Structure 1
Amino acid sequence: MTQPDFSLSPVRAIVTGHSRGLGAALAELLLERQIAVLGVGRSLHPSLGQSERAASAPQFVEASLDLADPAAVEQWLASGTLQRFAQGAQCVLLFNNAGTVDPIAPPGAQDAGAIARAVTLNVAAPLMLANALTSVQAHERRIIHISSGAARNAYAGWSVYCATKAALDHHARAVALDAPAGLRISSIAPGVVDTGMQATIRATNVDHFPTRGRFEELKQTGKLATPEDAARQLIDYALSDGFGALPTTDVRELAQS
């Protein structure tokens, strides 16, 4: 299969968890803006990579990779795929979107393997990708961590999720202090988005997640943002002159500014 020629794409984007939800919306909207996309995730996009869609997404390529497996991520980075995709671009965006809300449970009821998987997927993989992108020879690199309100507000039952998202926020703060030439970073809470993660939350035993009712109410009253709306706000900010002015922010704060 002939690989796309990305040399004509001055702006390129890497999107993790691109096969569904917010990640799929990011990939699709970026392509609509003529931005080349490298999708990275355990699953392939259900349509963008198919032959019948290839003509409508000529600047799309994807890699099947379990981001919760640190050895696999290390091996993939060593292959040079990310570097070849980004090399020579005017601007490269990295959307660290892939993540998991599991395990949802109080301490003592959390599966040890699920904790390890969450920390790797939510923290280690984004930091490994960010480190790799920083060394790429591109005029400008912009790292977008997809954070959460849970990074800044504690929730019973979400100790692992809260901790991992807070880690992304603090990583962005520290990287901003390092300030490598041509690098900007921001950890952004996208609001409460109507994705599969929300369905998982609503299906959780209330004994493990006491505030489940709040998320059920958001769904019932139509207050969840669509993946497309959230993706559009994230992309607009990522491409803006003001991106990275604050190492942590929230799309709802951006809408008010």
Structure 2
Amino acid sequence: MTSSSPIRAIVTGHNRGLGAALAEQLLARNVAVLGLSRSRHADLHTRFPALLEEIELELGDPAQVAQWAASDALRAFTSGAQTVLLINNAGTMQPVGPVETQNPAEIATAISLNVAAPLMLSSALAAASVDATDRRIVHISSGAGRNAYPGWSVYCATKAALDHHARAVALDANRALRICSLAPGVIDTNMQAQIRGSDKDRFPMRERFEELKQNGQLATPEACATQLLDYAFSDAFGTTPVADIREVGKPA
């Protein structure tokens, strides 16, 4: 793919939900996008053939991620860009339930997808895009990383890991790299449908999320993506390594 766009963005999990909304809005802003997901988006490439590159990658497999990150793909994609944005969006909330019910294989997959992949891609991007004068990394975090919920011990732990990673990277004081672990609020996606479909014995707080849906309190992926991108490209981005879009994304 060739593009003269001075801004390049990498979005993981770009094939659905918030990731799809982020990719679509970046493309609409004339930003070249590299989408990393286990499958391609249904129609974005047809609509934006000159701006979208897609890589089918199993982000829950650290060996695959490491092999791809070691290739020249990131350097080639970011070459010539002034601003490079990485949005680590892909993730899973499984396994859900008390610790004694959790499947060890699902725990390993969650840690690989939710933690290992974002950290590996962040490192790879920082190394590959040295010519860019403005490099920005967004970890899609969650309130679950800052507050413990019954049944979500693995999900809470993985999101807390992203928060602390951002805090530590910010201490590296690389002036050409900004990072923020950003909670996007409660969004009406497939993940929310999974939450509402959870067994109450495994996730006692299910009714709270059912009420959010019934009362129209879930943000749309499109509205959240707009807020998130406006903040990610703002001068304020990176001033705090852990944030909530519902606070930093408020109109001035």
Q: TM-score, normalised by structure 2?
A: 0.97
| Residue in structure 1 matched with residue 60 of structure 2 by the alignment | 68
- 1:86 Cα deviation (Å)? 1.0
- Once the two structures are superposed, the pairs formed by residues 208-247 of structure 1 within 5 Å of their partners are 208-247=202-241
Cα distance in 2 between the residues matched to 1:247 and 1:18 = 23
- 1:139 Cα deviation (Å)? 1.4
- 1:81 Cα deviation (Å)? 1.1
Cα distance in 2 between the residues matched to 1:125 and 1:214 = 30
2:17 is matched by which residue type in structure 1? G
Residue number among 140, 148, 168 corresponding to 1:174 in the alignment:
168
Encode CA deviations 1:228-247: one digit per residue, 9 max, x unaligned: 00111110001001100000
Encode CA deviations 1:99-157: one digit per residue, 9 max, x unaligned: 00000011110000000000000000000000011112211110000000001110000
Q: How many residues align?
A: 249
Cα distance in 1 between the residues matched to 2:216 and 2:248 = 21
Structure 1: stretches of 5+ with no match in the other structure: none
Encode CA deviations 1:65-122: one digit per residue, 9 max, x unaligned: 0000000001111222122101221000000000000000111100000000000000
Identity %: 61
1:5 aligns with 2:19: no
| Residue in structure 1 matched with residue 41 of structure 2 by the alignment | 45
- Once the two structures are superposed, the pairs formed by residues 33-112 of structure 1 within 5 Å of their partners are 33-49=29-45, 53-54=46-47, 56-112=48-104
Residue number among 16, 23, 32 corresponding to 1:20 in the alignment:
16
Cα distance in 2 between the residues matched to 1:57 and 1:234 = 24
Cα distance in 1 between the residues matched to 2:32 and 2:95 = 34
1:221 is matched by which residue type in structure 2? N
| Residue in structure 1 matched with residue 244 of structure 2 by the alignment | 250
* 8 Å Cα contact 1:88-1:139 kept in structure 2: no
Which runs of at least 4 in structure 1 moved beyond 2 Å after TM superposition? Answer: none
Q: Residue 119 of structure 1 aligns to a residue in which SS? A: helix
| Residue in structure 2 matched with residue 196 of structure 1 by the alignment | 190
* 8 Å Cα contact 2:231-2:249 kept in structure 1: no
Cα distance in 2 between the residues matched to 1:181 and 1:161 = 31
Cα distance in 2 between the residues matched to 1:46 and 1:113 = 29
* 8 Å Cα contact 2:183-2:243 kept in structure 1: yes
| Residue in structure 2 matched with residue 120 of structure 1 by the alignment | 112
2:155 is matched by which residue type in structure 1? Y
Q: Residue 112 of structure 2 aligns to a residue in which SS? A: helix
Encode CA deviations 1:186-220: one digit per residue, 9 max, x unaligned: 00000000001001111110000000000000111
Q: Which moved more, 1:28-37 or 1:246-255?
A: 246-255
- 1:57 Cα deviation (Å)? 4.1
Q: Residue 12 of structure 1 aligns to a residue in which SS? A: strand
1:212 is matched by which residue type in structure 2? R
Distance 1:30 1:42, change over 3 A: same
- 1:255 Cα deviation (Å)? 3.5
* 8 Å Cα contact 2:228-2:249 kept in structure 1: no
Q: TM-score, normalised by structure 1?
A: 0.95
Q: Residue 99 of structure 2 aligns to a residue in which SS? A: coil
